[in-house]
Amino acid sequence: MSRRIIPLVRHGAAPSTAPGSSASGQPLGLVRDTLLRPMHDLRISVTDRCNFRCTYCMPRAVFDKDYSYVPHGDLLSFEEIAQLARLFVAHGVAKIRLTGGEPLLRRDIHELVGMLAQLRAADGTPLDLTLTTNGSLLERMASPLAAAGLKRVTVSLDALDETIFQGMNDAEFRVESVLRGIDAALDAGLGPIKINMVVQRGINENQILPMARYFRGSGQIVRFIEYMDVGTSNGWRMEQVLPSAEVVSMIDREMPIEPVDHNYPGEVAQRWRYRDGGGEIGVISSVTRAFCQSCTRARLSPDGQLYTCLFASQGTQLRELLRGGASELEISGAIASIWRQRSDRYSELRGAATASRDKVEMSYIGG
């Protein structure tokens, strides 16, 4: 199978103003939304394209050869991404995750990593700069990403069984290629690696224990994610959700585990560690145990739209401000205004009506 690479589109040089200040020299302040949630995490989707066709994200029946992706000229350039990221950092962002689609399809993605690695949080420390990938291109990309300043990677892997894995990714990619990518990332110093497994009842629930066994004692962290109603293309049904409580119980019966405190406020995964010291796992329970009250994530789409929730129906376009000659102070003010008006708490309100409404696709805005 050929692997399509997204070409880089550039629209000008990166601005030279220092992190944490506007073009006019005025400071850019921290912001909180209507529920007093700060802006701490920024997820940047660099492409809406992917070389997998995972049934819960980009089902082939919808994302076929005729599907209309974001035109190349509408993609934010790396310089534009870095400029916006700097303004988000000035408003309190301390963690940036690159995502997609499959971010490693974006040509020269390590160059963007290098730009973002130069940014500093409000306290002067380097950002927590991470990337989520399906792992298919990670074996050859891990070293340049690490050299550019990437801190860690999260790898999606929904099964160790080859038949189940290929049935879910629907693209004939093999488990072995993802595992080689994980090894390469470890060799490059991009650990500890988090391995994300989306669990669907009746599809891959029999892979929970094999995944836990395989990575136990490795230093890597498997996170079991409840199947979510992201977008409108995946045919989500509540009966396919396996509650995280069942996952924890299943693992605990064979490999006893105990709860662990969060690493930081707003961390979405509930942490559990093996009682014998064999490491830890995580569960992400967006459906059965909503964590909206502590959500601190802003999301930037490949074409420059700001979304304040993974389940949002629409975003606010920032690209036109960038390309229309708006000052950094004006753009910063727009970002702050959007965040201050934020009141999203979709998972707390989830119901039959909300689950069926049109929502942004995960392949476009990132998980």
For the domain that residue 176 is a member of, what is the CATH number?
3.20.20.70
Domain encompassing residue 172: 41-365
Note the pLDDT of residue 79. 98
Total domains in the fold of the chain: 1
Note the pLDDT of residue 184. 98
Q: Is 59 a domain residue?
A: yes
Q: Is 32 a domain residue?
A: no
Q: Is 2 a domain residue?
A: no
Q: Is 18 a domain residue?
A: no
Per-residue pLDDT of the chain (367 residues; tens, 9 = 90+): 333 333 333 333 333 333 334 333 344 689 999 999 999 999 999 999 999 999 888 999 999 999 999 999 999 999 999 999 999 999 999 999 999 999 999 999 999 999 999 999 989 999 999 999 999 999 999 999 999 999 999 999 999 999 999 999 999 899 999 999 999 999 999 999 999 999 999 999 999 999 999 999 999 999 999 998 777 777 677 888 999 999 999 999 999 999 998 887 767 889 999 999 999 999 998 888 877 888 999 999 999 999 999 888 899 999 999 999 999 999 999 999 999 999 988 777 776 556 666 788 889 998 7
Q: SS3 for 131?
A: strand
Whether residue 192 has a cis bond before it, omega within 30° of 0: yes
* Strand stretches in 11-66, DSSP E: 41-45
Note the pLDDT of residue 23. 38
Q: Is 357 a domain residue?
A: yes
**Residue 134 corresponds to which tokens in the numbers above?**
């399906």
Distance (Å, whole) CA 149 – CA 254: 39
- As to burial, measured by CB atoms within 10 angstroms (0-12 exposed, 13-18 middle, 19+ buried), residue 277 is exposed
**Residue 230 corresponds to which tokens in the numbers above?**
């992201």
Note the pLDDT of residue 355. 61
Q: Is 57 a domain residue?
A: yes
Note the pLDDT of residue 356. 61
Q: Is 348 a domain residue?
A: yes
Q: Is 130 a domain residue?
A: yes
